Amino acid sequence: MSFKDEYDKFQRQIAPDKEFLERLAEKMDAEKQVKKKRIKIGAGIVSAAAVCAAASLIIVANTEKTPEPPPDIIGVGADKIEYVEGLFPYGSSASGDIAELAEMLADSETTVYGSPNTMFNFDDKLDETEKNALAEKLRNAVPTDEEPNGDAMNYMATNDGKVVKFSVTVDILSISENNFKV
Amino acid sequence: MGEFQSDISAKRLLELYSDMIYRIAFARTQNKADAEDITQNVFLKYIDSNKRFNDEEHRKAWLLRVAVNCTNDFVKSAHYRNRAPIEDVPDAEVHIEENSEIYYAVQSLPEKYRLAVHLFYYEDMSVAEISALTKIKETTVKSQLSRARDMLRKILKEAQYEL
Beta-bridge mates of residue A159? A162
Give the integer Cα–Cα distance in Å for B148 and B110: 8
Question: Residue type for B7, please?
Answer: D
**Taking CA atoms, what residue in A is nearest to B99?**
A10
Number of domains making up chain B: 2
Tell me the C-alpha to C-alpha distance, in Å, between residue B125 and each of A19, A93, B28: 30, 26, 17
- Structural domain includes residue A58: no
Domain coverage including residue A116: 78-181
Residue numbers of the domain that contains B158? 96-163
Decide if A70 is inside a domain. no
H-helix or E-strand spanning residue A128: helix A128-139
Give yes or no for A18 touching B (CB within 8 A): no
Per residue in A25-77, pLDDT (tens digit) is 999 998 888 766 655 444 444 433 333 322 333 222 323 333 333 333 333 32
Q: What is the pLDDT of residue A147?
A: 42
ipTM, interface predicted TM-score of the complex: 0.80
Q: How many domains does chain A have?
A: 2
Nearest CA-CA partner of B105 in B140, B150, B151, B142 = B151
Instruction: Decide which of B146 and A109 is more confident.
Output: B146
Q: What is the pLDDT of residues B102-125, one digit of tens each?
A: 878 888 888 878 999 999 989 989
Beta bridge partners of A167: A115, A154
Q: Please check whether residues A87 and A173 belong to one and the same domain.
A: yes
Instruction: State the average pLDDT over residues A159-167.
Output: 37
Find the Cα–Cα–Cα–Cα dihedral B37, B27, A85, A62, rounded to 10°.
Answer: -50
The SS3 call for residue A56 is coil
> Does A151 lie at the interface with B, CB-CB under 8 angstroms?
yes
Cross-chain Cβ contact B47/A10 below 8 Å: no
- Mutant choice from B137, B152, B155 vs A, greatest count of A C-beta within 10 A: B137
Looking at residue B81, which CATH number applies to its domain?
1.10.1740
Name the domain boundary from A49, A69, A87.
A49
Q: Does the pLDDT at position A122 exceed 70?
A: no
CATH value at residue B110: 1.10.10.10
Mean pLDDT of chain A: 49
Choose one of B42, B69, B93: the last residue of a domain. B93
pLDDT at B95 over 70: no
